[in-house]
Chains A and B, each alone.
Chain A
Amino acid sequence: MSKIIQVGMADFKMATAPDKLITAGLGSCIGICLYDKVIKLGSLTHIMLPSSSQAKNASNEAKFADTGLKLAIREMEKNGAQASRLLAKIAGGAQMFKFSGESDIMKIGERNSVAVKENLQLHRIKLLSSDTGGNYGRTIIFDPETGDLLVKTIGHGERII
């Protein structure tokens, strides 16, 4: 029996096929999916913020793009994955609210996707596909068997990236 493993806000989980990973309701947050095709091991990190460097409290590594990615690579390597084989898919980074005279803080979604891409490059992990931006939420289901990432939305369709 395959399981679907829930990943919460600022949370990190791993799954081996045929199990799948799900995170519901990504807004400005980003779901970073990494997988190693050879051993069919996948991980999903639900990050909230671009960087841990300015945080008062950075104890939860999965909360930030930089530490979240490091955490994912480290944990996957512990479970037999090879960093050089890792591939990535990402989704999220929307801007849910619009204000007049937007401040930087409201553009967290955009800053998150930039930070995630930068960090992936830093670790030389190839980004296969991404579905970011917009002004709507996403629920994503990641299948380490095929590497398919299913993106569901309310009123903006469903797609596999």
Chain B
Amino acid sequence: MVYDFSELSGIQLDILREIGNIGSGNAATALAQLLNAKIDMNVPQVNILPFAEVPDLVGGADLHVVGLFLVATGSAPASILFLLPVDKACLLVDMLMGKEWGKTNPSNLSDMDISALMELGNIICATYLNALAMFTQLDFRPSVPALGIDMAGAILNSVLAQFGAVADHVLVLETEFKRGDQEIVGHFFLLPEPGSLDVILASLGVSL
């Protein structure tokens, strides 16, 4: 059984990367429809990283971020975490709620703002999951996302701890959404549960 992303071969990684690409492409489209604005996207960076290096990738363990976490059940249970800096998340809320740019206050989010963020997270994560489901023909049933607003390290280690017993590496997709000259960089983390990686790879015809 494959437990850790570091055990994967080149071709298996390429396929996971491609799914990531398509997943974030769909997420950008969903975002554009939701915001009724043109959203550009860069080709996502895909990394397999040891846990210890993850906080640095997202801007340091101390960075104040919004984290959306959801669990997908089904034949290949997996979790998805979407992280973005809190000031960037506020820009998304501005767009979504039709507020003036920079109007949302990161240190004083209203219930409406939080609800908007949950909805954004829900859509972004679900579109990503859809891409995975389409490719693998597997069934993923996402939970309602949980929202955390705190230090990046704190959110990350709470999520990674669940996988710490079997793995030391995580698959990270760095996606950059742009609206005009405003860059909004978010990070997706795909965290298959033990055994799920085998099911996913087998369904793609690249099992070991």
Contacts and interface: CB of A to CB of B under 8 A. Distances in A.
Contacts of B154: 25-27, 94, 96, 136-138
- Chain B interface residue bracket vs A: 35 or more
A22 to B, nearest CB: 10
Interface in A9-25: 9-11, 23-25
B146 A99 contact: yes
Interface string A22-39: 011111110000000000
B151 A56 contact: no
Q: Which applies to chain A's interface (DSSP): helix, strand, loop or mixed?
A: loop
A60 B168 CA distance: 9
Interface string B20-44: 0000000000000000000000000
A13 to B, nearest CB: 12
A49 B163 CA distance: 10
Q: Which applies to chain B's interface (DSSP): helix, strand, loop or mixed?
A: mixed
A133 interface: no
Given A49-B165, A56-B166, A155-B107, A28 B148 contact: no
Given A55-B165, A57-B3, A57-B4, 16 more contacts: A8-B55, A9-B61, A9-B157, A49-B164, A56-B165, A57-B166, A96-B155, A96-B159, A105-B162, A108-B161, A108-B162, A136-B154, A137-B151, A138-B154, A139-B151, A155-B107
Pairs A-B, 10 closest by C-beta atoms: A25-B153, A137-B154, A25-B61, A27-B154, A24-B61, A27-B158, A137-B151, A97-B146, A25-B151, A96-B158
Interface of B: 3-4, 51-55, 60-62, 64, 67, 69, 71, 107, 143-144, 146-148, 150-162, 164-168, 194
